[in-house]
Amino acid sequence: EDKVVQSPLSLVVHEGDTVTLNCSYEVTNFRSLLWYKQEKKAPTFLFMLTSSGIEKKSGRLSSILDKKELFSILNITATQTGDSAVYLCAALLMDTGRRALTFGSGTRLQVQP
Amino acid sequence: KAGVTQTPRYLIKTRGQQVTLSCSPISGHRSVSWYQQTPGQGLQFLFEYFSETQRNKGNFPGRFSGRQFSNSRSEMNVSTLELGDSALYLCASRPEWRESANTGELFFGEGSRLTVL
């Protein structure tokens, strides 16, 4: 059974801290790992990682994938209150006739002023 | 460009009833997926439609069904509602469905929050 596990489940930090969110996966026919941010309702896309060891960066957020150890991390530096959200990772699998995203249960990040 | 639109945003039903949720994808997007989100189970894949055909299906009972119309709008239906069906139902669209497509980005709607009493 395909599985994506995120840790920690929740995290409380202060503004300015750096956080690392973890995502491990066991997915057959793995293609890519995606990160989403969900603030209230609609998750919004952050990154898609397909190649191992290549960091993707967007402002204070960065992410990297390790396809050998089957995990990804999302780093947020100099956190701000606006970073408070649930961060979801999802593994994209693709094979003949099938394509699916399996999501983890998310990490709830709360950034305090 | 308008985003993914879901209606209704909130609804309350009682056990045994049925419900229909609607999703209008971003203009030009032909693939629509449905997800159920609950605190305990996270985001779980229900099904994906492209060109009015169901392309993928998650592990949900037959009470959960869906369809897609020629204008790419999609509906999902849940019959004989159970308390455990209370959840946020999210719809997501993307431009096309192709096995070789290497883009996984989905554009999500705000969801329909269903409460079953």
* pLDDT digit string, tens, across residues A61-79: 999 999 899 999 999 999 9
Which chain B residue has its CA at the smallest distance from A93's CA?
A: B104
Residues of B in contact with A102 (CB under 8 A): 45
Count Cβ–Cβ pairs < 8 Å, chain A vs chain B: 66
User: In which element (H, E) is residue B80 found?
Assistant: none
Which chain A residue has its CA at the smallest distance from B108's CA?
A: A42
Query: What is the model's pLDDT at position B103?
Result: 62
Which chain B residue has its CA at the smallest distance from A95's CA?
A: B99
**Residue B42 vs residues A53, A78, A113, B102: alpha-carbon distances, Å:** 28, 28, 28, 24
- Residue B2 pLDDT level (bands cut at 50, 70, 90): confident
Give the up-direction half-sphere exposure of residue B36: CA atoms within 13 A in the CB hemisphere: 22
User: Which residue of B10, B43, B47 to mutate against A (max A Cβ within 10 Å)?
Assistant: B43
Three-state DSSP state, A18: coil
Q: Which residues contact A68 (CB under 8 A, 6 or more apart)?
A: A52
Query: What is the model's pLDDT at position B57?
Result: 87
Residues A38, A88: contact at Cβ < 8 Å?
A: yes
Over residues B41-94, the pLDDT tens digits come to 788 999 999 889 998 888 899 999 999 999 999 999 999 999 999 999 999 998
pLDDT more than 70, % of chain B: 91
The mean pLDDT value for A82-108 works out to 88
Give the number of other CB atoms < 10 A from CB of residue B57. 15
Rounded distance, CA B61 to CA B109, Å? Answer: 23
Query: What is the model's pLDDT at position B100?
Result: 44
Q: What angle do CA B27, A38, A30 make, to 5 degrees?
A: 80
Query: What is the model's pLDDT at position B1?
Result: 63
Residues of A in contact with B35 (CB under 8 A): 103
Query: What is the model's pLDDT at position B44?
Result: 92
Query: What is the model's pLDDT at position B99?
Result: 46
Which chain A residue has its CA at the smallest distance from B107's CA?
A: A44
Residues of A in contact with B58 (CB under 8 A): 100
Assess whether pLDDT exceeds 90 at residue B115.
yes
Over residues B30-39, the pLDDT tens digits come to 889 999 999 8
User: Which residue of A25, A88, A99, A103 to mutate against B (max B Cβ within 10 Å)?
Assistant: A99
- Residue A100 pLDDT level (bands cut at 50, 70, 90): confident
Query: What is the model's pLDDT at position B97?
Result: 57
> How far apart are the CA of A37 and the nearest CA of chain B, in angstroms?
11
Q: What angle do CA A57, A60, A64 make, to 5 degrees?
A: 35
Residues A4, A91: contact at Cβ < 8 Å?
A: yes
Query: What is the model's pLDDT at position A101?
Result: 86
Over residues A5-52, the pLDDT tens digits come to 999 999 999 999 999 999 999 988 898 999 999 998 889 999 999 888
Residues A90, A103: contact at Cβ < 8 Å?
A: yes
Would you call B45 and A42 a contact, using CB atoms and an 8 Å cutoff?
no
